[in-house]
Each structure stands twice: as C-alpha cells, then as structure tokens.
Structure 1
Amino acid sequence: MMGEYIRRWAAEGAHAGEIQGPFSLEGITAWECDLSGCAPLEPASVQPAHVEALFCRAGQLRATLCKGQTVCAGPGELLLVSDAAELRRFSLEDGCFQGIFALMDKAASRDLPAQEPTLWAGDASPMDQVAGLLRSHNGCMAVREPVWGPSVLASLCQLPKERRGAYFLLKLWELLYLLCNRQPAAVAPCANGYYDHYQADAVRNVHDYMLAHFDQHMTVPELARRFQLSPTFLKSCFRRLYGAPVHTYLQQYRLQTAARLLRTTSDSVLHIAVAVGYTGTSQFDSAFKALYHMTPAQYRKWCRENNVQNR
C-alpha cells in the first residue's frame, strides 16, 4: 500500500525534497514524508509478509475497510496495517499528512530480537507477533498510547531532519514490544458487531454536520436530538466508524485546522482561536500545546524555521 506508493513517488523525483530516508534498523525501513497536496492514494493491498506503520505528525490518516469500518490516526498516533486488512480506501484529511512511514518485513526480522528470551516471549518472531495482533483487529488498528505518542511527537520536533527516522525506528521497536507483551485485555479489539448502512449513514451525517459547523459549540445530546438518535448509540457508532470519541475527534479537527492556519496565514493567534471555535486564547493555547507540545506561537515559529509554513 503506502510502501509501493512512497517508492514510486520517490522514484519520480518530483518531490525529492519532501521525502527523507530511507532509514533502516532490524528489518524495518522508514521514510519521513510530507504528502501534502499529493495525488489521492489508490486502493492497494499491503505486500504479503509485511506490516506497514504510519506515524502522524500533522494531518490525519483514514483507512476504510471493506466491511465499512473506518480507522483514523491523528497527530501523535500510529496506524498499523498488515496484509490481512481488506482495504477499500486510504485517505488523508484535507489532503495533508506529515509524518513517518515504516515498512516492516517479517522475513528480514525473523532472526532478530525473538532469539532473546528476555525481550520477546514465545517462539514467534516480533513481526509474527505483531501480525497476529493485527489479525484480531481485521488487519488494521490505530495505536493511541497516552505516553508513547506525545513523547515521540515532542522529541521529533526537537531533532534535525536527518536524525528523526533513526530515532523513530528505535521508538517503534519499543512500542511493538509493549503491544506484544502487555496483558491481553490492554490490546483487546473493539466490541464485535457492525451497524447497518442506515445507522452508519445517520452517524456520517452527524460527522459531516460537525465538520461543516466545527467553529460552533455543540454537544453529543444536542447532536443526537438534531439527528433523532440515541446519545448512547451516537457515541458508540461514531467511535466505531471514526476511531475516536465525538468530542476528541472534533477537538482534534479544530486544532488541526488551527495548525494549518498557523502554517499558511499571518492571522493572529486570537483570530485563529476564534475561527476554530474557541472563545479566547487561554483555553486554545492549552489544548494546542497538549496536542502539539508547543504553543501556537512556538508552532508557527517552528514551521517557518523548518520551511513548512506553506504546506
């Protein structure tokens, strides 16, 4: 999927300045990439015996499976996809993605840390364990680690471009170890069951309304009343379809929009805060820093210093 896309894109040479790498470590190869403004991603399958990992620094990744399930990953989150996934669509929110893509080859890593019993339990190789975990999630899962993700995001912002890929590979091995060795309940898949297309369409209408009016105050009970849905159903179905609670999804969308405005305009921080639904800069600054690990002003300065203000 993304592996073939990145290689083809890099080979064309038209966007060479927007791909850093490759970086390699223990059977994993990574590229740092900025896919902002790129052509839509064609549906494709992950190569056999491979696992792909996409760490999001800015923007949002959305994978839609053939059964209608949608898995999303935003800043500080990781999307893991194996050849077991039946993908229908792979899209970038607002056509923007900045982050790191890693291609994991099970064959190349078969003789690595699995041979060290103090690191990996059982006889299976690390990638076999990861692939097994993904099969329990229909081949595709978003990883939202409250400590790991924000820590990696903050550290990447402080490293020069040529060092980010190697650092990410080290942290990715750490995450894979955590996912494969913690208590099973901690990585259990979402509850089984699917919503029919009428129910899913109703919640997609809520989603579209939210994004069209994201600068307005709204609550789950208000949205449920507007679309004649049960609040409990709305919350569960929304999370199933979009991979995050309603409030979290809306807040991340607002902050991602704010980040884009900080990169691409000279509007004041107050003007941008109001434009994305905040009444002032205090709450906006706190929410933005919690997601991006720097204030809006620091983020704008960092983008200008790294020449990403127009992406």
Structure 2
Amino acid sequence: MKKLFTETEELIKTHVLNESDTQTIIHGEECSIYKMENNTGEGIIIRYSVFPGIEILYNDIHMTNGVRHNATPRADIIEINHCRIGRFECEFSNGETAYLGEGDLAVNVMTNVARESWFPLSHYHGITIAVDISLATQVLKQVSNALGRGLSFDLFSMKESLCQGNSCFIMRATDSIQHIFSELYKTPEDLKSGYFKIKVMELFLFLNSPEITAKREERQYFNKIQIESIKAIRQYLIQNLHRHVTLKELSHTFNYPLTSMKLCFKEVYGSSINTYMQAYRVQFAAQLLRESNDGITNISYQVGYQNASKFSEVFKQFIGQTPTEYRKSFCLKGGRSVL
C-alpha cells in the first residue's frame, strides 16, 4: 500500500504540479507541502493522500503568472478543479483556454495537456483532486464491494462522458457543487483522513450522474491574440486609473470590436470592464488610505473620482465604511489591514 501511495505522489508531481517550478517544503507519506515562486508572487500547495491513486491538493496562490507545463500526455489521469476564490486561466496545447471563477468546477483528462496557466486576479484559492484512474479503480472496487450493492464508481466511464473529444468539462457554480466542496475547506485536521474518503466518493457519484453531462457549458471561444489584447487593455486601464476611459475609446485605441471586447474581458476577468475597474479603484484607494497620508480628496482624484462625495459613497458600498472611518479603524488596529 505504501508503494502505491509513493507511485501516486510521483505521478501527481509530474503531471499536476510542475516539478521544475515547484519546491518541496515538507514531504510526508500522507501530506506534503510545495511552494511555487516567480517574479509575480508565490503559491503554496498542500497535498493529502486519500486513496492510492487519489490525491487532494489545496491551492493558495498569490501570483499572476503561473507555470509552464511540460508533462507527457496520460489518458489514465484526470484532474478535478474547484475554484473557491479568485480566478484561474489555463491554456491547452490545442490553443483553447479555460477559465474558472468562484464556485466553478472543471474536469480534465491529461491527454488534453495544459501548456500554461495564469491567475488573472493575482490570487486563487481552490482544490485539485488528481486521480490515477487505473490505481484508484482497484481500491474503489474494494470499497464498493465492502459497502454493498448499489454503489458503483466507474471512473473510466466518467472520464469518457465528461471529457468527450479530449475536452475540458466545465460546470459553473451550482448549489450541488457548493454542497460537496464547502465542507472540504473547513475540515478539522484530525478528521481529514476519513472525511476526504467520504467526500471524494460523494463527488464521483455526483459526476457519474447522466444529468451532469447535460450541464456542460457552451462557451464562446477566444483566441490567444484576443486574450492578450484584453490583458493589455486591463493594464492600460490601471495605468490610467486617474481618468475614466470610455469603452468606445478602448475599442478604438486597441482596434478591438466593442461587443467582442466586452465579452472577452468578462471571460478573462469574470466581470464587466466597468464593474472590474470600480472594484479595482476601491481596493487601490483602500491601499492608499492604509499606506499613505494623502488626503481623501486627493486619493479620490488618484483613483478617478473628481467628486469626493461620490467616491465616499462608492467606497462605503464596497468596504462597508466611509474612507474616513476605514482609515481610522485601520489606525486603531495598529496598522493591520481590515480588508
């Protein structure tokens, strides 16, 4: 059994993590901790063994650029990802790009090899369940026999059903997904070993349901050039935070059709351009309130508000306090962020 766990971890490190960019901080049979780091930030991944052939990885990422992947295609390995907070972008070797937002679920077979991954919002928290189907099937068959009739885990059929045509299955946030994953984010340490087994089996039963395939997301495809243009637009906007750039101006400046620009921006960043920039302005203003002595009127100008009263109104909608209250509460907390 120990040998099977070791084999599983090596497969996961090779095909799910990128060994060249991942440093092992702690290595254990049941739990390991890895660190990724580059010039845009760092990420911590905690791996737990569930069954031979099944691993759960907790991803706590604070970076923009992720990693380049170079794993050999494997038809017997699938990866199930759930996004709790933030946003995840993955480009596959066939040129397609998949995005996960908060609450979304994705299932991908490792013949659909990822080329590169990014984190558009510079943070991502989620769970990866990596499955070596051949190893896991042997163990789950024993579990099924022990628990009795009516319990079946056909991982091969699940893969064929969800990843038709070597594609990545994406299902947007639902109450069912939330129910399965929410408790995995707050499992007490002493209960994890047994609880992981129960939740993984629940997830496999859920994904084996014929109704799930029908919920496959039909999405518009954007090529890499379009996506890179959207990222350039976002960078242009934050570099010109002091002024309000109209959508028509953006469309003209970047030679990007207005409708396509709006659709692609929402695909990459998960919200409309105006909504995204409003939130960005407030968060940047909160940082200035914490880290500078600039007056509130001056800060409102820096983030694009000519009217300090309007700025205070929008700030309170997002933060729950006026800028003055926020700065005062931050000082009272001894300089610790309340965001």
TM-score range, shorter chain: 0.5 to 0.7
Question: Deviation per CA, 1:206-257, whole angstroms, max 9, x where unpaired?
Answer: 34435555787677666445545433322444456x38453599379849x9
- How much has 1:83 moved relative to structure 2? 1.4
Counterpart CA distance in 2 for 1:221 and 1:195 is: 22
1:130 aligns with one of 155, 159, 166: 159
Match of 1:22 in 2: 48
Deviation at 1:29, TM superposition (A): 1.5
Aligned residue among 143, 155, 167 for 1:139: 167
8 Å contact 1:61–1:73 — kept in the other structure? Answer: yes
Relative to its length, the structure with more strand (as a share) is: 2
**Structure 1 counterpart SS, 2:158:** helix
CA deviation after TM superposition for structure 1 residue 103, in Å: 0.9
Larger radius of gyration: 2
Unaligned runs of 5+ in 2: 1-10, 35-43, 305-310, 321-325, 331-336
- 8 Å Cα contact 2:64-2:119 kept in structure 1: no
Distance 1:126 1:200 in 2: 34
Stretch deviating more after TM superposition (20-29 or 83-92): 20-29
**CA positional deviation for 1:50:** 0.5
RCO (CA 8 Å, sep 6+): is it higher in 1 or 2?
1
Kept after mapping to 1: 8 A contact 2:18/2:70: no
Counterpart in 2 of 1:72? 99
Paired amino acid for 1:144: R
| Map of 1:305 onto structure 2 | none
Residue by residue over 1:169-199, the C-alpha shift from the partner in whole angstroms, topping out at 9 and shown as x without a partner, is: 65555455445421654215435x66584x5
Offset at residue 133 of structure 1 (A): 1.6
Using the TM superposition, give the Cα deviation of residue 205 of structure 1 relative to its aligned residue in structure 2, in angstroms: 3.5
For structure 1, the 5+ residue unaligned runs are: 287-295, 301-308
Quick check: 2:101–2:270 contact (8 Å CA) kept in 1? no
Identity of aligned residues (%): 18
- State the 1:89 CA deviation: 1.0
Which TM-score applies when normalising by structure 2? 0.56
Match of 1:53 in 2: 80
**Count of paired positions:** 276
* Alpha-carbon displacement from aligned partner over 1:248-284 (angstroms, at most 9, x marks no partner): 99379849x959x89xx9669xx9xx89897535431
Change (3 A) 1:282 1:12: closer
Q: Which residue of 2 aligns with 1:186?
A: 215
Task: For 2:164 and 2:271, locate their aligned partners in 1 and report how far apart those are by CA, in whole Å.
Answer: 24
Structure 1 residue 90: Cα displacement: 2.0
Query: What root-mean-square deviation, in Å, do the aligned CA atoms of Structure 1 and Structure 2 show?
Result: 5.2
Contact 2:87–2:269 (CA<8 Å) still a contact in 1? Answer: no
Question: How far apart are residue 30 of structure 1 and its match?
Answer: 0.8
The amino acid that maps onto 2:69 is P
| 8 Å contact kept, 1:19–1:32 | yes
Partner of 1:292: none
Question: Aligned partners of 1:195 and 1:6: how far apart in 2?
Answer: 25
The 1:243/1:108 distance shift into structure 2, 3 A limit, reads farther
